[in-house]
Amino acid sequence: MIKVSIIIPTINRLELLKQLLLSMYYFDKDDLKLIEPEILIIDNDSKGNAYQVFNDIKDNFPFVITYINEKRPGLHNCRHTGAFKANGELIAYLDDDMVLSKSWLKGFLPIIQGRADAVVGKILPKWECNPPIWLRKLTASGTFGYLGIINLGNSEETVEPGYMYGGNLFIKKELISQLGGFHPDGFPKEMILYRGDGEMGFAKKFNKGGYIAIYSPQAIVYHVITKDRMNMEYLLKRAFNEGISYSYAYIRREKRTEFIYIHYIKLLLFFLINNFGINKRYFTSILKYYYHRGILFHIKNVKKNRYLLNWILRYKYY
């Protein structure tokens, strides 16, 4: 029996967290003959108090479940705390708004079998209500990072860092500390300048180290897309934040804050001359526009704030 640790960072989404935990009752019994899960809820000091969900479910839950309050803001802090507290040699990270399939535990198998160092599972949308047509178009390919969904088909394959989504990620625990952990991510609005490139930064270090990541079509989760995320305002905010992440990664990599401003002139021209009809091209263009606004916002603030620059250049964040 192989002990694995399932780490769930959470903040103020109690009903969604409850849905996720309830879906674990239905794991494939054959998988449980090989795999012994423990569950760690890492509460990022939620106002809604995720401890109540834990307290309601712990006595009748089919697996060992632990509640940990992580007061330091940031998704990366939750991920690190979960890894350090985990008893399994293998861990899986989940977002708190997922619902798991019966076959989800099969995501551990490529690592157990020695074929991979990490696995990313399929993430399908679970729409809370019918999405607008334009959003259907944006997500038609099956993979759309701004909503954290990934569908590379029904065959296992090796993947590049860009597909190592932290919402459904299986990995050897030892690699978290060996690679220096995750970069900053998931901050509240008032701390958005301290956002980094999160799991993407970790994935790049993983790839540079020569490790292998595999996409598993059997490790399926359903990402609950609530109504408040089915609008352009939400997606523009996500695009803006991704621009901040890009700026962070650039400065960290190049150790400088100079950007080529002709790039932004080209961006503005591209935005102005685009077709403004309600089609996929329009929405893709406006998302790119806000993405680059995020870059400019971040770089301007870094130039004014030495502490922020030092934060970006830190070796590790735990």
Residue 69, burial from CB neighbour count under 10 angstroms (0-12, 13-18, 19+): middle
pLDDT of residue 317: 96
CATH number at residue 199: 3.90.550.10
Domains identified in the chain, total number: 2
Question: Does a structural domain hold residue 301?
Answer: yes
**Are 220 and 163 contained in the same domain?**
yes
Alpha carbon distance 206, 193 (integer Å)? 25
Task: Answer whether residue 76 is part of any domain.
Answer: yes
Determine the 3-state secondary structure of 33 from DSSP. coil
Contact 120, 167 (CB under 8 A): no
On whether both 39 and 187 belong to a single domain, the answer is: yes
One-letter amino acid identity for 150? I
98, part of any domain: yes
Q: Are residues 65 and 93 in the same domain?
A: yes
Q: Indicate the range of 210-219, 221-230, 291-300 predicted with least confidence.
A: 291-300
Rg (CA), the chain: 20
Output the pLDDT for position 288: 84
Residues 25-74 have pLDDT tens digits of: 999 999 999 999 999 999 998 776 799 999 999 999 999 999 999 999 99
Would you say residue 6 has pLDDT above 90?
yes
Are both 133 and 158 inside the same structural domain? yes
Same-domain status, 220 and 254: no
Residue 272: the pLDDT is 62
Indicate whether 317 belongs to any domain: no
Q: What is the mean pLDDT of residues 169-191?
A: 96
Residue 270 has pLDDT above 80, yes or no: no
Q: Are 162 and 308 contained in the same domain? A: no
Q: Tell me: do 26 and 118 sit in the same domain.
A: yes
State whether residue 8 is helix, strand or coil.
Answer: strand
C-alpha distance from residue 30 to each of 1, 27, 34, 62, 111 (Å): 12, 9, 7, 15, 17
Flag whether 248 is in a domain. yes
Query: Is a pLDDT exceeding 70 seen at residue 280?
Result: no
Same domain assignment for residues 264 and 246: yes
Together in a domain, 86 and 199: yes
How many CA atoms does the CB half-sphere of 99 hold within 13 Å? 14
Instruction: Answer yes or no: is 217 within a domain.
Output: yes
Q: Residue 275 CB: number of other CB atoms within 10 A? A: 9
Alpha helices in 255-279 (DSSP H): 262-273
Q: State the residue range of the domain holding 218.
A: 2-228
Give pTM, 2 decimals. Answer: 0.93
Show contacts of 269-278: CB within 8 Å, 24+ apart. Answer: 278/134
Looking at residue 53, its pLDDT comes to 93
Query: 86: which 2 tokens?
Result: 């985990």
Mark which of 228, 258, 286 sits at the end of a domain.
Answer: 228
Distance CA 239, CA 246 (A): 10
193 & 265 share domain: no
Of the residues 188, 211, 228, the one at which a domain ends:
228
Closest CA to 124 of 264, 1, 37, 222: 222
Residue 318 in domain: no
Residues 212 and 265 in one domain: no
- 258 and 142 fall within a common domain: no
Residues paired with 172 in a beta bridge: 90
Q: What is the mean pLDDT of the chain?
A: 92
